[in-house]
Structure 1
Amino acid sequence: MSRHADFDSQWIVRPARLSDLSALHALAQQSLVGVTSLPDDKKRLEQRLRDSEASFSSDVDYPGEEDYLFVLEHSATGELLGCAGIQANCGFSQPFYSLRHDVFVHASPALGIKHKVHALSLCHDLGGNSLLKGFHVVAPLREGPAAQLISCARLLFIATQPRRFASRLVAEMVGCADEQGNSPFWDALGQHFFGMPYAQAEALGASGDRTYLAELLPHYPIYVSLLPEQAQGVMGQVHPGAKRPYDILLSEGFESERYIDVYDAGPTLEANTAHVRSVVDSQVVALRITREVVAWNAPAWLVSNQRLAGYRAMIIRSNWLAGRPLTITADQAAALQLNEGDSVRLVRL
């Protein structure tokens, strides 16, 4: 196989395991402050890995407290280069809080005045959805296909295990903050109710128990026009460092509707699971193993096996045509832990 094809095939996505703790902690130390689902805390990461292992080995019929974590691994060296997760039901054990952007009409017929007023309301409307979380890829791979692989491999897993996930998916994107980690939105709102800086508040949010949000934040509407212009300007805006995962999900059919993050006002993306591109366009086909060389410029496909704890996914170059088996090399089949005649799920990248 050509050098270019080998380059595409050098990464594998698999479920995280407890032995990944040190490498995962190193990734967490590099991630953005707002990625609270990937805390720079070894004890919390260890618990997350234990929860993920238990989730992959569990027998479930509907989305519950399962929390799945995947890692991007270099197939030759075993180095961890990224991670991404899915929480099966983000409102299963406690409310999942967001800020809902509402529009009210204020009118005075006597004065002939009528205008719209934008307001933010604390809510847990999104509870019960499956949450995409914990995305991080090392900087050198962030703009390339490896980032798309780790992000979309979990979507292909959802397509393979549909009963484990909700009918809707959501993803909280990191909002704007400066190089010192200060958030204009947090400084304008949350700071007044929490009395702590943005980074400390995000670290608190990484604990998983967010009942304090309902205890400390106001339950009445927050009028947007009363916030400083800088805070208004970052509402619904994504952090430059999170632009890549944001764009990947947009290309999958996710949309930003009316919800933003409580801490930094980053957008919350939503999609019907059945309408996500990697779910609806993926197909299950038989596998055939060959020694033939595939041209480096052949179309790229995201390919996975259909296992649970043994889930594997990778990028494969192929001229596959609908209705035919997928032909791959013995090395690629071994990486996917598959044999001749097994079935794979694939979708065009």
Structure 2
Amino acid sequence: MFVLRPAAVRDLPAIEELAAASPVGVTSLPANRETLLARILASEYSLAADVAFRGEERYFFVLEDCASGRLAGVCGVDAAAGFKEPFYSFRNETRVHAASELGIVNHIHVLSLCHDLSEHSLLTSFYLRPELAASAEAELLSRARLLFIANAPARFADTLVSAMLGVSCGDEGSPFWDSVGRVYFGLDYHEAEHLCGVRGRKFLAGLMPQQPVYVPLLSEAAQSVMGEVGADSDLPYDILSREGFESENYIDIFDGGPILLGRINALYSIAASRLFTLRIAGAQMAEGEASLIANTSLTGFRAVLAMARIEGDTLWLAASAAQALGVLDGDSVRMVPLQHAAEGGF
């Protein structure tokens, strides 16, 4: 069984290993020990804080194999995408250029640098070991964050955003970055992503274009990948799309990948989840429904995938699953049926 829980300082070496293996572009998971430690400490502080309204809080979670203690993945959620510094993105727009005396009207696609999404909450740092990509644990790693949000809605905005990795070409970089970012920064894609991961996005403001970027002037390669999901984001994109996230008018400033938005109250794992009173069955329970279940704690938050049986406002759960959640008979738990899960068992 796997359990999702808040990251702790003792997890740092394992998180460093996962960060080193994560794809270029996951700027919220840089292979930098100091930055990762700061992320863990910020999460611990946020969980312990008495929060009435969202602010600088950042929450960081790990997926642990209960049998071996090995970490299989990480994920996070920030209360505000741009609390300390703007969360920059490109907004797709159309500009009209007309010459009435010639009877010419042109509608031209442009990209405008903006920080429209700064006030929204942000899903970050998703990475799962590749051998588990086709398993239901991917659903646990991504969707358990939504149960955490459902438990404490005052800590988050009404809308969540998540930037998907765009198309890149391995060591050759990103077609979109090569046509846009490199022009203004003089850095290759990998260098820019590393700087952003370690230093944040604030260094972008003085170097990024302040005037709209005219898309027809970009290379054909750059235009072809705008808004396209890269192979490394196929898994989180599929999960979030089934949750109810949609791509709107925004793309990432580095690789042109789509930025997804979802209204919290309309997302499946939040809207369909319910609180139940727990009753503990035997060590194992074959009957019931495959479910995503979380306790209602903040600092001790836990979430698992398990078989659960509902009887009114009571949820029956195997003792092994209850132990992983850190709950006792009679405690309150939040559950949502595991619909549309990836193929695999748990």
Q: State the TM-score, normalized to the length of structure 1.
A: 0.94
Distance 1:214 1:229 in 2: 26
For residues 309-328 of structure 1, the aligned pairs below 5 Å read 309-320=299-310, 323-328=312-317
One-letter amino acid of the counterpart of residue 332, structure 2: S
Counterpart of 1:302 in structure 2 is 292
Query: Partner of 1:71 in structure 2?
Result: 62
* Aligned Cα root-mean-square deviation (Å): 1.3
Q: Which runs of 4+ in 1 moved over 4 A?
A: none
**Cα 1:181–1:249 shift into 2, 3 Å:** farther
Percent identity among equivalent residues? 46
For residue 205 of structure 2, give the secondary structure of its aligned residue in structure 1: helix
Counterparts of 1:251-330 in structure 2, within 5 Å, are 251-291=242-282, 294-295=285-286, 298-320=288-310, 323-330=312-319
Match of 2:341 in 1: none
Name the CA distance, whole Å, in 1 between partners of 2:116 and 2:142. 25
Please report how far the alpha carbon of residue 174 of structure 1 lies from its aligned counterpart in structure 2 after TM superposition. Answer: 0.8
Q: Distance in 1 between matches of 2:169 and 2:135?
A: 25
Tell whether 2:214 aligns with 1:219.
no
Q: CA deviation at 1:275?
A: 1.1
Name the amino acid aligned to 2:308: S
- Aligned pair in 2 of structure 1 residues 319, 290: CA closer, same or farther (>3 Å)? closer
What amino acid does structure 2 have at the position aligned with 1:134? Answer: S
Shift of 1:293: 5.1
Q: Which residue of structure 2 aligns with residue 348 of structure 1? A: 337
* C-alpha distance in 2 between matches for 1:255 and 1:294: 36
Secondary structure of the 2:170 match is coil
State the 1:28 CA deviation.
0.3
SS in 1 for 2:184: helix
Task: Give the secondary-structure state (helix, strand or coil) at the position aligned to 2:260.
Answer: strand
Cα offsets for 1:172-217 (capped at 9, x unmatched)? 1111111225100011111111111100000011124322211001
Residue 38 of structure 1 corresponds to: 29
Question: Distance in 2 between the 1:127 and 1:67 partners?
Answer: 14
SS at 2:36's partner residue? Answer: helix
**Matched residue, 1:3:** none
Partner of 2:113: 122
8 Å Cα contact 1:81-1:137 kept in structure 2: yes
Query: Partners of 2:71 and 2:204 in 1: how far apart?
Result: 34
Q: Could you say if the C-alpha distance between residues 208 and 345 of structure 1 is closer, same or farther in structure 2, counting changes exceeding 3 Å?
A: farther
Structure 1 counterpart SS, 2:310: coil
**CA–CA distance in structure 1, aligned partners of residues 260 and 164 of structure 2:** 7
Task: Note the 1:1-349 alignment, pairs <5 A.
Answer: 10-291=1-282, 294-295=285-286, 298-320=288-310, 323-349=312-338
1:97 alignment partner AA: Y
Q: Is the 8 A contact 1:285 1:326 kept in 2?
A: yes
Contact 1:181-1:199 within 8 A present in 2 as well: no
Q: What is the letter of the counterpart of residue 295 of structure 2?
A: N
Q: Is the 8 A contact 2:282 2:319 kept in 1?
A: yes
Q: Which runs of 5+ in 1 are unaligned?
A: 1-9
C-alpha distance in structure 2 between counterparts of 1:278 and 1:44, whole Å:
30
- Displacement of 1:292 after TM fit? 7.5
CA contact (8 A) 2:27 2:193 kept: yes
One-letter code aligned to 1:139: P
TM-score by length of 2: 0.95
Tell me, what secondary structure is at the counterpart of 1:180?
Answer: helix
Kept after mapping to 1: 8 A contact 2:283/2:320: no
Residue 6 of structure 1 corresponds to none
Amino acid at match of 1:338: V
* Deviation digits for residues 51-97 of structure 1 (CA, Å, limit 9, x no counterpart): 11111111111111111001100011110000100011112111111
Q: Which runs of 5+ in 2 are unaligned?
A: 339-346
Alpha-carbon distance in structure 2 between the residues aligned to 1:256 and 1:15: 28
- Higher mean alpha-carbon deviation, 335-344 vs 285-294, is at 285-294
The aligned length equals: 338
